[in-house]
Structure 1
Amino acid sequence: MRRRLLVILLVFAALAVSGLAVPLAASSSTGRTQQLWFDRYVDAEWFSELAEEAMTTDDRQTLLLEMRRYHTLYSDQVLVVDAAGSEFANTGVDVEDPAVVQLLADVRSNRHSVQPPRRLRTWDPDTMRIAHPIGAGMQMEGAVLIEASTVRAKRDIADRWALIALGAWTALALFTGVALGLSRWVLRPLAKLSRSVAVLTETLPKAVTQARPTSVTQRYEGPPEVKDLARSFDTMALAVGDAVDAQRQLVADTAHAIRNPLAALAIRLESLGRVIPDQAQESFRRASSQIDRLKAVLDGLLRLAVAETPAGFGAAQADSDWPSRCDAVRVVEDRVDAWQPAYEEAGMTVAAVMPMEEAEVAVPEDALVQILDVLLSNSCRYAGIGARTEVRVHAGTRWVTVSVVDDGVGVIPDELDKLTTRFYRGASAAAGGSGLGLPIAAALAQRYHGELTVGATVPNGLHISVRLPVRRSGR
């Protein structure tokens, strides 16, 4: 991949440098060409004035003197012809050259071009011909032709081209160094990440079932480093999935293995209840309640292990058999109705405050039922006699928020952030709980990309909100 990345960077660098160097070289050549042409055109205009005066006075001495001095100074040849095309003065121009003859004929007929050539190149001829008419308007008395040397101008152009090329190659060399460093900097973390993933995969437990594949068969396209990293991630994902399954199975096996002795112990205690002395009845009752609490803790651990398994990961893929959506309004109405007798028995009231329209969430119905049962049970157990609990549903464009709000005794502010911690029980919590209810609800919400938050109500009470993603069309 580094070689490909380097080639791509260098190609872009070459294109960028060429995009600057080529126009700069062309502009430099054009500028030097125009400078030479305009200088010689001005000189030709000056010679036409001298030639017009010489033809009028029939005195060629001044014209010839200036033409020789000009030739000595610039090594350029100058030719002056009269209206008939006959040679009037010459410092070395070949009057038999067809190109010279044609150019002079065009000038005398006022059909010559007065635009400079586009640009000189180093391989162009060593001379440039510039012509100017003698006279003005329709009265042409002759023509002046300067055969200018382009050697010096082409040398200047070659020097500028060499300087531009040197700058371009220097810039390209610098960019090559930068590209080498950049490619190493970009790919070093990728290679390190691939090695780390491979090492981590080796440390994870091997597959515990034969139902899931333990090798990666998917084929990837792209650079070798990216393909290796993708394969390493796939292997790690399979291993992590197996580890999650193993953890989940371990909790289930542990709960099952402990539940049987606890059931046997509960039976033995129940049979001993008839022979326990009166003074030991309180201790017997406490022992029985501890067994019930252990059973609740085991059930809670099993539910928590299931809730904390990421959706669609490992054994949690079985969730795909459940519909991944439900109507939060309907579920809330059902759970409030189901908990109504329990609240009446506890001397409290519960009501639902919901919108008229449906509020579909991207959460299976059984998961939302578990969350609501935890929140309503928590309120029913701890809010206190006479408290009122409201279950509110607020539907937004992206999220649906289900809130359970009561005006009961609440909790102290320092305990709010700890209520979703495993086995944590507040100072005002009643006996019999396991401290796993809210952690299970929070894990279920997070499993389906939601969030559970706990807050206090004013002046007293507890406010627990669950924010769940709205079901998008097509999901």
Structure 2
Amino acid sequence: MILTSVLLVLAVVPLAVSLTARERVAFRDSQRADTRVIAAAAEEHLSDREPATAMRRELEAAARAGDCAAVYDASARLVAGTPCTAARGEEAEELVERVLEGHEPEPPESEGRLLTVEPAGEVREPSGAVVLARSAAPLDARVAALWGWSAVIGTAALAASVLLSVRLARWVSRPLSTLDAAARRLGEGALDERADVGGGPPEVRRLAATFNTMAARTEALVHGHRAVIADVSHQLRTPLAALRLRLDVLATGAEGDTAGELASAQEEIARLSRLVDGLLAVARAEQATPLPTAVRVDEAVAERVAAWSPVAEERGVRLTASAGPALTAALGAGHLEQILDNLIANAVEAVAEGGTVTLAHEAAGTSVRVRVRDNGPGMSAGAKAVAFRRFGNPEAGGTGLGLAIVHRLVTSNGGTARLEDTPGGGLTAVLDLPSWQGRAPGRPVPSPKGGRERPAGAGG
């Protein structure tokens, strides 16, 4: 629009100025021609001593046309004129004197009228002079119409340019906007998202086709990776269950060292079972594409504390929840419960008998902050740096998958998770969850786990 406006100004304004100047020149030439006609009739009377009939006839014609005219002799005395006196006066007399001296003065514009003066007879030795005053209103009207039409044409051209540019911009930008939305949804986990390749310029269509190829390969890779983990984990559960059952049968009648070895084998089988359950939980978490729902954080914290309190009491650990405001987070259904299950399981296993685990929540700007604090041995800086990776923590006492599940569920919902040292010793898990703002609070989806049952894959 700026470029078009500049081009229109550079094209229309000079053209209008040129046409205006031409109109003014044409108006003055027409007036001077009419003045010469009266001067020719006046010369016959002033120099040839012919009757003044022709001169008066021309003066009457000028009066009927709305002009004012006056005839002066060689001594600059008024000889005849129209009833209108606009062609008389000091200004007219000065023009007459300059013409009688042989000069050609520039016709001035006075009070909306244009004065022209012409000699009667020869220019060097005129026998008189004629002054004609004509209203400039017709000229002003034509100039105004000229500029008005120029403005209309410029506005129409600008409107056509705007319409064309908007349609062109939409033709280019709409496919790009669609592609941007598809890329955003793909980044949010919708691996089946594809861009429309049927609209826009060829370059945008090629970009959309390339994006679809990339999305298809990404979907195949991710699904293949998840399928391998899920299939391997699922296939391992059956032989592990059978092996555990056989060990249980053998341990029934075993005594002495044999019973101890079988008990150790049973513990290893139990650890492998927990590892397989954890892998399945990770696979499910990675496949989750959460649809945000309103989750009451205070209620979810209270429910999970109540569910885990019997487990904590068995270990001699005090599990509590600090009082906090009624806050609502935007999370996938059941995700907050699974996150808290893993964090509580880790904390309860980490602290010694007589230790404490405390859950707290508060508002933090546009987020809801949840803390799970314990007074256990804590973690080293290196362990905290890799704690959210699968099997990344060498100090983990469990499967090493619990914090990976927590990190995946929190980040997939648009939140963040980090580990901090507890003042006085211990570890604090800090979660910043997206807040559900401007909507009525909703109840979270209740967790199917209750009582003393631990979630699959929780801990580690």
Task: Sort the TM-score into its range (normalised by shorter chain).
Answer: 0.5 to 0.7
Aligned pairs for 1:176-325 (under 5 A) are 222-223=199-200, 225=202, 226=204, 244=222, 247-273=225-251, 278=256, 284-311=262-289, 324-325=293-294
CA distance in 2, matches of 1:449, 1:292: 34
Equivalent residue number for residue 421 of structure 2: 456
Aligned pairs for 1:11-410 (under 5 A) are 13-14=3-4, 16-27=6-17, 30=20, 102=65, 105=68, 109-110=84-85, 114=110, 130-131=115-116, 143-144=130-131, 222-223=199-200, 225=202, 226=204, 244=222, 247-273=225-251, 278=256, 284-311=262-289, 324-356=293-325, 358-396=326-364, 398-410=366-378
User: Secondary structure at 1:362's aligned position in 2?
Assistant: strand
Contact 1:79 1:144 in 2 (8 A): no
Contact 1:349 1:387 in 2 (8 A): yes
Equivalent residue number for residue 403 of structure 2: 438
Q: Residues 275 and 104 from structure 1, CA distance in 2 versus in 1: closer, same or farther, beyond 3 angstroms? A: closer
- C-alpha displacement at 1:325, in angstroms? 2.8
User: Secondary structure at 1:308's aligned position in 2?
Assistant: helix
State percent identity of aligned pairs.
28
CA distance in 1, matches of 2:422, 2:46: 113
Equivalent residue number for residue 469 of structure 1: 434
Equivalent residue number for residue 151 of structure 2: none
User: Secondary structure at 1:354's aligned position in 2?
Assistant: coil
1:144 maps to a residue whose letter is: V
Moved more, 237-246 or 405-414: 237-246
- C-alpha displacement at 1:245, in angstroms? 5.0
Contact 2:421 2:428 in 1 (8 A): yes
Equivalent residue number for residue 381 of structure 2: 413
- C-alpha displacement at 1:302, in angstroms? 0.8
Contact 1:248 1:305 in 2 (8 A): yes
TM-score by length of 1: 0.56
2:268 maps to a residue whose letter is: Q
- C-alpha displacement at 1:344, in angstroms? 2.6
Count of residue pairs brought into register by the alignment:
340
Q: Residues 469 and 106 from structure 1, CA distance in 2 versus in 1: closer, same or farther, beyond 3 angstroms? A: farther
Q: Deviations over 1:236-271 (max 9, x none)?
A: 767755765555444333222111111222233334
Q: Residues 294 and 21 from structure 1, CA distance in 2 versus in 1: closer, same or farther, beyond 3 angstroms? A: same
Q: Deviations over 1:282-312 (max 9, x none)?
A: 6544433322222111111111111112416
CA distance in 2, matches of 1:278, 1:254: 36
User: Secondary structure at 2:240's aligned position in 1?
Assistant: helix
Contact 1:81 1:88 in 2 (8 A): no
Query: Which runs of 5 or more structure 2 residues have no equivalent in the other structure?
Result: 48-56, 71-81, 88-108, 120-127, 135-164, 184-191, 443-460
- C-alpha displacement at 1:100, in angstroms? 10
Equivalent residue number for residue 187 of structure 2: none
- C-alpha displacement at 1:219, in angstroms? 7.8
Q: Deviations over 1:362-400 (max 9, x none)?
A: 224421111001111111111333332221111356322
2:404 maps to a residue whose letter is: P
CA distance in 2, matches of 1:418, 1:258: 27
